[in-house]
Amino acid sequence: MALRLRLEDVTFSYPLPGKDEAAALEGVTLSVEPNSVLCLAGANGSGKSTLAQVCTGLLAPTSGALYYGEERIEGRGTLREFRRKVGLLFQNPEDQLFADTVEKDIAFGPRNHGLKGDELSRRVSESAQLVGLSLEKLGARSPFSLSEGEKRRAALAGVLALDPEVLVLDEPFIGLDYEGRHSLESSLERYRDERGASIVIVTHELSHVWSLATAFGLISEGRLVRFETREQLLSGDTDIGALGMHLPQWGALARELLRAGISIGDPTDPRALAGAMAERRGAGGGA
Amino acid sequence: MTDDHSAEISTEDLSYTYDTGRQPALTEVSLQFERGKMYALLGRNGSGKSTLARCLNGLLVPSSGRVLSCGLDTADPLNALAIAGKVAMVFQNPDTQMVGATVEEEVAFGPENLGLEPSEILRRVDRALDLAGITGLALRQPLRLSQGQKQLVAIAGAIAMEPDFLVSDESTSMLDYTARLRVLDLFERLRRGGMGIVHVTHFLEEATLADKVVVLDAGRVEAAGTPAETLGDPGRVRALGLDPLAVRVVAYELGRLGHAVPDDVLSVKELMSWLYA
Amino acid sequence: MRWRSEGGPAVALDDITIGQYISAPTLLHRVDPRLKLVAVVACTVLVFLYDGWALLAFAVMIVALLAVCGLPLLQILKALRTVWVIVFVTFLLQLFLTPGQIIWQWGFLTITDAGLSNGAIFSGRVLLLVVLLSALTMTTPPLKLADGLESLLKPLAWLRVPVARITTIVSITLMFIPKILDQSRKLVRAQMARGADFESANVLRRVKDILPVLVPLFVKVFHDADELAVAMDARAYGGGTRRTRLHPLHIHLPEALLTAAFVAAAIAMTFIP
């Protein structure tokens, strides 16, 4: 299958060693397929935010190459179009929202890339709809007058308005409650399905992406340590704790069962887990 | 005979509205918090848990009803200084609560505000750094530390007030797992030392560590009790806008298959023990 | 040159912004902030009284002082990038606009001898002032600076001036400068990700794209300031009037004498023609 985004042996170091949150990247190789949700997980300081920025072209690799499809990305020529195809949503909506009105903010991206008139308004309203934001109600308001949840949606709409093929999100779920996470998950899944988009979520909290992600990359000290599916992650002996993270209860339970030799189907399906446990209990002579 | 309320915080029909005319953030909340216990406050965004936390130490004063912090009415401005010394608070964002240029200065800020003698301030600072396990960071600049270290500094700053209670307003929300464990471990040590901990969080697994869990929804107390009592029913948890514990969702399914799982099984370890029992 | 903060990672001075405090074991760090404040205020006034040679003499003394105290001058100057613009503009204005004996002409642009000397003097003054202020803020933690300021202004309290509050405002403002710059960098990055062009040759376009950053910048800063105020409240900060100190300010004889000598030398320089 044609790969979208590809990093080949990418190394990155900040020009000023000793700067706080910057962690270098060492020999990172990774690929992103269409119609997928990739989770890049790492503890704070592991290099995950740096990786997110390299993936979106905001930082240029010190060595190694970045590809989009067959095209190598470097220099201003390729960068501009690349930044349209790969969108980045920052952790804090306040780091991203800035226009007078919500509508103008969402329009900022596509307008910078030459869209105007009817086409522009159509793109803006489509994006707002995708994230569940009502332009009639909020379009003319200042982005800063919105509630936290509305701000996040406005920021996401602003990025989706570029119609990116790859969407990178840096810690999008922090501070959201259950319903907020659920709402964001549906927006992302919808965008992936309608557009065949690749979603890349960078986070330190595996529980946020446990059911959403189709593949996992674990980052530690600037290196991409593993690139696994959920099942591989659970059946291998990766020490998640040593990487500064932890499995959500779902994953931890599934892993314990697998280690006990109990086969389970879908590790995110409670009925599968319960069924497997009931069988074991029944077989053990209890019940 | 008078009851000794000096060791507790109690809210009596506490109601709070941010701006008149808007929906109240809290409605008739009556709760009691004792020293030496850990409380978890849960609720969806907007449920009022942060508002409640800020009413406990007088940062917010009730619109109606009353809050007595260690016997002192929070509505009386003359009590403000005394209450600040008894009910300390740490906040969600590690960056926006730092004042000092060094960790030592940061932790000393509170005691300095209490007007204590330098020798006493020093004693408190040393003790607080020691309890938080960050004595080695004393001369570092707070803003150059990791998020987790910053929160430990913030908690040390609160410990230095030598309070009876520590209120944590989502102080773990922005931390990674390792940092969270360190903070929770510190909370436990403080609790064992006699401090009352009120921890606002949206991590249910953290709530299972508490002695008592309070769940708010739309400004009212919808559930209050042990973790098992409040978090055991996944349907109810979901209805309150919270993400139910995986163990409890599976326990529910097991129940439907005819295998009853006790209510106090809340962790993976406990569930596996039950499996082999 | 890298400074090593006590026990912490090395801090590169290219990294430093105006007004930011750096923790390092230099001599100036240990001097009582009140002495530093008095010296800076005195020199600020004196700098405007200096003529050409006096200015040079003063500059030499400053450089020597900074070197002795372990403050790398070159790095400081590099860190003051934005100030160079002001210095340069000052120089140009004086250069082209001062009347006097013409020594060079091209079209309507004239440079006079007075222009040349004035240009050097005026821009030199600006530069020196900024270096002085930077030396102050770099070596004095904001809270200590506030303490010093408060102590010096205490007599004003008799006139009902809210000295403690003012000094807190000053120190917190200093703390916020690097935060503001940090936040603006983030906003610029977000805009770049959405196609804004900050490298385009079209200067007007660049300015147009930068301006909208100001509003969200201030929104964020006010929000953070608010959170800080709440945190300070929670730790019994009541306007600072009854605050004591872990390390109370204390002026020692050697540093007092040194400061006095420094200021005396600076005053003496006003007599240099």
Q: Domain ranges in chain A?
A: 5-247, 248-287
The mean pLDDT of C114-141, rounded to a whole number, is: 84
Contact check, Cβ <8 Å, B259/A174: no
- For residues C262-268, average pLDDT: 88
Contacts of B120 in chain C (CB under 8 A): none
Distance of CA C186 to the CA centre of its chain: 24
Task: Could you list the beta-strand ranges (E) of chain A.
Answer: 5-12, 25-32, 36-42, 63-68, 71-72, 86-89, 166-170, 198-203, 215-220, 223-228
- Given a cut of 90, whether residue C139 has pLDDT beyond it is no
Q: Averaged over C196-221, what is the pLDDT?
A: 72
Residue A64: burial class (beta carbons within 10 Å; 0-12, 13-18, 19+): middle
Q: How confident is the model at residue C206 (pLDDT cuts 50, 70, 90)?
A: low
Closest by Cβ to A178, choosing from B146, B243, B268: B243
pLDDT of residue A257: 92
How many structural domains is chain C composed of?
Answer: 2
Is B118 within 8 Å of C247 when comparing Cβ atoms? yes
> Are C180 and C209 members of one domain?
yes
Q: Which of B250-264, C41-55, C176-190 has the highest mean pLDDT?
A: B250-264
| Most confidently modeled range among A79-88, B52-61, C133-142 | B52-61
Residue B24 DSSP symbol: P
What pLDDT does residue A15 have? 67
Give the pLDDT of residue A8: 87
pLDDT at C8: 35
User: Which positions in chain A touch B44 (Cβ < 8 Å)?
Assistant: 177-179
At C209, the pLDDT band (50, 70, 90 cuts) reads low
Residue C117: pLDDT above 90? no
Residue B164 φ/ψ, nearest 5 degrees: -85, -25
Top-confidence residue, A281 or C212? A281
Confidence grade of residue C74 (pLDDT, cut at 50, 70, 90): confident
Going A139 to A145 to A150 to A153, the CA torsion angle's sign is: positive
Report phi then psi at B17, rounded to 5: -125, 130
- Average pLDDT, integer, range B189-218: 96
The domain of C209 spans: 142-242
Across the range C176-189, mean pLDDT stands at 81
Distances in Å between the alpha carbon of C127 and those of B230, C86, C93, C134? Answer: 66, 9, 15, 10
β partners of residue B168: B90, B199
Mean pLDDT of all residues in A277-282 = 88
C residues 207-246 closer than 8 Å to B (CB): 224, 227-228, 230-238, 240, 242-246
Choice among A84-93, A155-164, B160-169 with the minimum mean pLDDT: A84-93
CA gap A274, A182 in Å, rounded: 23
Q: What is the nearest CA distance from B100 to chain C, expressed in angstroms?
A: 7
pLDDT of B164 higher than 70: yes
A54's CB contacts (< 8 A; 6+ apart) are: A7, A10, A12, A25, A60, A61, A66
Pick from B30-39, B51-60, C188-197: least confident: C188-197
When pLDDT is averaged across residues A227-238 and rounded to a whole number, the result is 80
- Three-state DSSP class for residue A150: helix
Give CA separation, C172 vs A22, A136, B72, C152, C236, in Å: 26, 41, 31, 18, 17
By the CB < 8 Å criterion, does B178 face chain A? yes
Residue of A nearest to C13 (CA): A16
Is the CB of residue B144 less than 8 Å away from at least one CB of chain A? Answer: yes
pLDDT higher for B232 or C223?
Answer: B232
Say whether both C38 and C62 belong to one domain.
yes
Q: What is the mean pLDDT of residues B123-137?
A: 96
Q: Kindly report the nearest CA distance between residue B4 and chain C, in angstroms.
A: 25
Comparing A228 with B254, the larger pLDDT belongs to B254
In the predicted structure, residue C6 carries a pLDDT above the cut 50: no
C-beta neighbour count of B45 within 10 angstroms: 17
Residues in chain B within 8 Å Cβ distance of A170: none
Task: Reply yes or no on whether the pLDDT at B236 is more than 90.
Answer: yes
Fold assignment, A5-247: Rossmann fold (3.40.50)
CA-wise closest residue to A249 among A273, A265, A225: A273
- Residue pair B247/B266 in contact (Cβ under 8 Å)? The answer is yes
pLDDT for residue A82 is more than 80: yes
With tokens 């910057």, the residue in question is A22
Residue B250 has its nearest CB partner, among A178, A204, A253, at A253
Mean pLDDT of C182-202: 75
Question: What are phi and psi for residue A162, nearest 5 degrees?
Answer: -80, -5
Q: Which of B221, B210, B203, B169 is nearest to B36 (CA)?
A: B210
CB proximity list for B195: less than 8 A, separation 6 or greater: B35, B36, B163, B164, B165, B166
| Mean pLDDT along residues A34-39 | 92
Q: Is the pLDDT score of B138 beyond 60?
A: yes
Q: For chain B, list the domains and their CATH numbers.
A: 8-244 (3.40.50.300)
Q: Is the pLDDT of residue B93 over 70?
A: yes
Residues A16, B256: Cα–Cα separation, whole Å: 59
State residue C2's pLDDT score: 39
User: Angle between the A270-283 and B246-256 helix axes, to the nearest 10 degrees?
Assistant: 60
The pair of structure tokens assigned to B4 is 């000794």
Is residue A109 within 8 A of residue A160, CB to CB? The reply is no
Interface mutation vs chain B, best among C137, C235, C241, C245, most B CBs within 10 Å: C235
Instruction: For residue A103, give the nearest of A160, A167, A157, A149 by alpha carbon.
Output: A157
Residue B28 Rama label (left phi>0; alpha psi -120 to 50; beta): left
Helix (H) or strand (E) holding C225: helix C214-234
Amino acid in the structure at residue C90:
T
Query: Taking the alpha carbons of B254, B260, B264, B269 in that order, is the dihedral positive or negative?
Result: negative
Pick the closest to residue A50 from A78, A28, A67 (CA basis): A28
* Number of residues that this document lists for chain A: 287
* Tokens 């500064």 belong to residue: A244
Tell me, what's the pLDDT at C201?
56
Taking Cα atoms as reference points, which of B172, B156, B200 lies closest to residue B33? B200
Cα(B141)–Cα(B260) distance, integer angstroms = 54
Q: Are C119 and C56 in a shared domain? A: yes
Cβ distance A278 to B259 less than 8 Å, yes or no, reads: yes
Q: Which amino acid is at B195?
A: M
Once rounded to an integer, what is the mean pLDDT over residues C73-99?
76
Helices (H), chain B: 49-56, 80-86, 103-113, 118-132, 147-159, 177-192, 204-207, 227-231, 234-239, 246-256, 268-276
Chain C: touching chains (3 or more CB pairs < 8 Å): A, B
Residue from the list A178, A244, A253 with its beta carbon closest to the beta carbon of B177 = A244
Give residue A2's pLDDT.
65
Task: Say which of B178, B247, B257 has its CB closest to residue A249.
Answer: B247
Helix (H) or strand (E) holding B197: strand B196-200
pLDDT classification of B1: cutoffs 50, 70, 90:
very low
- For residues B233-256, average pLDDT: 95
Q: What average pLDDT does range C62-90 have in this prediction?
A: 77
Q: Which pTM does this prediction carry?
A: 0.85
CB B83 within 8 A of CB B58: yes
Query: Which residues of chain A make contact with C183, given a CB cutoff of 8 A?
Result: 95
- Does pLDDT of A16 surpass 80? no
Specify which of A33-47, C6-20, C241-255 reaches the highest per-range mean pLDDT: A33-47
Mean pLDDT of C66-84: 75
Model pLDDT, residue C198: 63
The mean per-residue pLDDT over the stretch A108-129 comes to 91
Chains that touch B (3 or more CB pairs under 8 A): A, C
CA distance C145 to C135: 12
- Do residues C157 and C101 both lie within one domain? no
- pLDDT score of C7 more than 70: no
CA B64, CA C257: separation in Å to the nearest integer? 61
The rounded mean pLDDT for chain C is 78
Q: Which residue among B44, B177, B250 places its CB closest to the CB of A270?
A: B250
Least confident piece of the model among B117-131, B157-171, C47-61: C47-61
Residue B98 pLDDT greater than 80, yes or no? yes
* C-alpha–C-alpha distance, residues B256 and B3, integer Å: 48
Structure-token match 């969402």, residue found: A106
Residues B219, B223, B226, B228, CA torsion sign: negative
What amino acid occupies position C96? Answer: F
Q: Which residues of A touch C189 (CB under 8 A)?
A: 58, 95
- pLDDT reading at C17 higher than 70: no
Determine whether C9 is exposed, middle or buried from the number of CB atoms within 10 Å of its CB (0-12, 13-18, 19+).
middle
Model pLDDT, residue C10:
39
